[in-house]
């Protein structure tokens, strides 16, 4: 039997009230990134495809990661990423890295190292020694917004994350996730994205999450879904059971998932997931 390949990507959650003017540019961006990711998936493997898709999402200012990253309460950017090679059962990542353009590229390189999960000190040293681009995602608009917000705090659903999950022609699975965290989170807060709660894969399934990081950590969401599929539940049943439990506990998050057979499944508790994939007929499809 020919292995069915599949790539699913996401750019976080938006509100149900958000109109076409905010949805359409996201659809266009996701379509281009999905196409680029598929080229890598077809010519290389799932791990390289999720790294490439995630890096392109990081480079797009529409999404809260890399170039589009948001700011913490002390006015600093802290970027996190997680990468899981399901075939080798190997996790790598970046926790609150600063002055780095593509945290997912560093996570990709760390797969070959003994120390695979680095905080900001390690990120600075490794990024420099690997010659990765030094980059400050600060724009005058964002810094002004931060300055304004400090004096008039109000509720905002201003966060987001990007991610990609894939299965390749050899049946290898991988998941990648990258985030700027939550707008005005406390200095040094760590998101779920650089942990196996927010990003995980094994030989049966790959999952990338977005939403309220503490809720994702509390549910160990990505790991919970992956273990359930590994134990024999179908992807759909594993996602449905995990989200049913999460809704009972009023969690606020979403996930994209792909299994070994190339089935894709996306789910959210609240909000609207900004995700895209190719359906079984190969047509570009979005969840929003």
Nearest-approach distance from CB 268 to ligand ASP, in angstroms: 11
User: Which region, left, alpha or beta, applies to residue 278 given φ > 0 means left and ψ of -120 to 50 means alpha?
Assistant: beta
Indicate whether 179 belongs to the interface with ligand ASP (CB under 6 A).
yes
For residues 249 and 29, what is the distance between their CA atoms, to the nearest angstrom? 33
For residues 288 and 277, what is the distance between their CA atoms, to the nearest angstrom? 12
159, 224, 251, 265: residue in contact with ligand ASP (rule CB under 6 A)? 159
Cβ burial of 215 (10 Å; 0-12, 13-18, 19+) is buried
- Please name the residue ranges forming H helices in 8-166: 20-43, 46-59, 103-110, 120-129, 140-151
Q: Which residues, numbered 192-251, are part of the site for ligand ASP (CB under 6 A)?
A: 192-193, 210-213
Q: Which member of 70, 161, 179, 195 is catalytic?
A: 161
67 annotated active-site = no
In the complex with ligand ASP, the residue whose CB is nearer, 179 or 269, is: 179
In the complex with ligand ASP, the residue whose CB is nearer, 41 or 97, is: 97
In the complex with ligand ASP, the residue whose CB is nearer, 93 or 160, is: 160
Indicate whether 181 belongs to the interface with ligand ASP (CB under 6 A).
yes
Report the chain's C-alpha Rg in angstroms.
17
Among candidate residues 194, 272, 248, 276, the one with its CA nearest the CA of residue 240: 248
For residues 98 and 77, what is the distance between their CA atoms, to the nearest angstrom? 6
Give the interface segment with ligand ASP, choosing from 28-36, 44-52, 190-198, 237-245 (CB under 6 A): 190-198
Indicate whether 182 belongs to the interface with ligand ASP (CB under 6 A).
yes
For residues 222 and 242, what is the distance between their CA atoms, to the nearest angstrom? 10
For residues 41 and 168, what is the distance between their CA atoms, to the nearest angstrom? 6
92, 191, 195, 223: residue in contact with ligand ASP (rule CB under 6 A)? 191
Indicate whether 60 belongs to the interface with ligand ASP (CB under 6 A).
no
Q: Which residues, numbered 6-25, are part of the site for ligand ASP (CB under 6 A)?
A: 12
Give the interface segment with ligand ASP, choosing from 87-95, 156-164, 219-227, 277-285 (CB under 6 A): 156-164
For residues 223 and 23, what is the distance between their CA atoms, to the nearest angstrom? 30
In the complex with ligand ASP, the residue whose CB is nearer, 159 or 172, is: 159
Count the residues of the shown chain that bind ligand ASP, applying the rule CB under 6 A.
14
Contact 124, 145 (CB under 8 A): no
In the complex with ligand ASP, the residue whose CB is nearer, 182 or 251, is: 182
Q: Which residues, numbered 70-129, are part of the site for ligand ASP (CB under 6 A)?
A: none
Indicate whether 160 belongs to the interface with ligand ASP (CB under 6 A).
yes
Tell me the residue number closest to ligand ASP, measured at CB: 213
Query: What's the CA angle centered on 12, arms 261 and 141, to 5 degrees?
Result: 150
Give the interface segment with ligand ASP, choosing from 103-111, 121-129, 164-172, 188-196 (CB under 6 A): 188-196
- Please name the residue ranges forming H helices in the chain: 20-43, 46-59, 103-110, 120-129, 140-151, 213-219, 221-230, 235-248
Residues binding ligand ASP (CB under 6 A): 12, 159-161, 179, 181-182, 191-193, 210-213
Active site members: 161
């Amino acid at each position: 039997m020919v292995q069915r390949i599949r790539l699913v990507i996401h750019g976080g959650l938006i509100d149900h009230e958000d109109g076409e003017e905010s949805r359409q540019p996201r659809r266009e961006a996701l379509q281009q990134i999905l196409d680029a990711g598929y080229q890598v998936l077809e010519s290389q493997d799932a791990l390289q495809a999720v790294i490439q898709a995630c890096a392109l999402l990081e480079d797009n200012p529409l999404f809260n990661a890399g170039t589009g990253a948001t700011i913490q309460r002390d006015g600093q950017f802290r970027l996190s990423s997680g990468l899981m090679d399901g075939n080798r059962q190997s996790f790598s990542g970046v926790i609150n890295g600063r002055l780095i353009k593509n945290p997912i590229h560093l996570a990709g390189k760390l797969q070959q190292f003994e120390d695979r999960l680095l905080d900001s000190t390690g990120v600075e040293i490794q990024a420099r020694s690997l010659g990765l681009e030094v980059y400050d995602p600060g724009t005058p608009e964002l810094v002004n917004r931060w300055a304004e917000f400090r004096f008039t705090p109000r509720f905002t659903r201003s966060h987001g994350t990007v991610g990609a999950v894939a299965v390749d022609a050899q049946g290898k699975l991988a998941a990648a996730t990258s985030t700027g965290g939550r707008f005005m989170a406390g200095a040094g807060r760590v998101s779920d994205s650089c942990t196996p709660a927010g990003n995980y894969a094994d030989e049966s399934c790959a999952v990338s999450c977005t939403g309220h990081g503490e809720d994702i950590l509390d549910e160990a969401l990505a790991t919970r879904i992956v273990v359930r599929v590994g134990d024999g539940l179908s992807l759909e049943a594993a996602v449905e059971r995990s989200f049913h439990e999460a809704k009972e506990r009023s969690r606020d998050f979403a996930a994209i998932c792909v299994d070994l057979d190339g089935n894709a499944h996306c789910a959210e508790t609240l909000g609207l997931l900004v995700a895209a994939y190719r359906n079984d007929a190969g047509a570009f499809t979005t969840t929003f």
